[in-house]
A and B are shown apart, each in its own frame.
Chain A
Amino acid sequence: DVKVTQSSRYLVKRTGEKVFLECVQDMDHENMFWYRQDPGLGLRLIYFSYDVKMKEKGDIPEGYSVSREKKERFSLILESASTNQTSMYLCASSGRQGYGYEQYFGPGTRLTVT
């Protein structure tokens, strides 16, 4: 089975702190994604990566950056955390080349910024 792990289940940070969320997948998948999930809004795509060192902006990239130095690892970075970034963050991966294939999700990181 595909396994996607995220470094923390719960995280509490202060406004202005730099925050790193880590995601690791063990199935040699090419594509990795970061979403945030908020009540009533579903999942919104922040960034994704289709290869090592390659990234593309999603629908809501403002205030976030990403890093993919190794194929199995995809990091989401909040350069200066703000209270409106309090949310559930979900990482996903997909092994198919091309577009629109099924994604496998990690358990999520619930981030609270105070």
Chain B
Amino acid sequence: AQSVTQPDIHITVSEGASLELRCNYSYGATPYLFWYVQSPGQGLQLLLKYFSGDTLVQGIKGFEAEFKRSQSSFNLRKPSVHWSDAAEYFCAVGAGGRRALTFGSGTRLQVQP
């Protein structure tokens, strides 16, 4: 069965600094990969997804993610963080004949002024 690990529970960055959130997955083949964002008290919003093709994927709100097969990783990046990016971020995997996605435990991002 597939699994997803987000090693960082909580990250704090300064506004304007760059950001990288880590995601590692466990699956024998190439899965479908997603990043979602959850603002406080809200549902999850899809930031970006990877199915196949170019390993660098662009998403909404200036985010991008890179799929690295050799490292089983799908890290999320943003060159310059805004205060409104403070939220919880979830990496998810779709794979293995399972209709639902498997989610990581999330990374909470705090942005300092």
Contacts and interface: CB of A to CB of B under 8 A. Distances in A.
Nearest to B42: A107
Interface of A: 4, 9, 31, 33, 35, 40-43, 45, 48, 50, 56, 58, 90, 92, 94, 98-108, 110
Interface in B88-105: 90, 93-101, 103-105
Contact residues of B: prevailing secondary structure:
loop
Contacts of B103: 35, 42-43
A56 to B, nearest CB: 8
Contacts of B96: 99-100
10 contacts: A43-B90, A48-B99, A48-B100, A99-B99, A102-B34, A102-B46, A102-B94, A106-B43, A107-B41, A108-B43
B46 A104 contact: yes
A100 B31 contact: yes
Contacts of B36: 105
Contacts of A108: 41-43
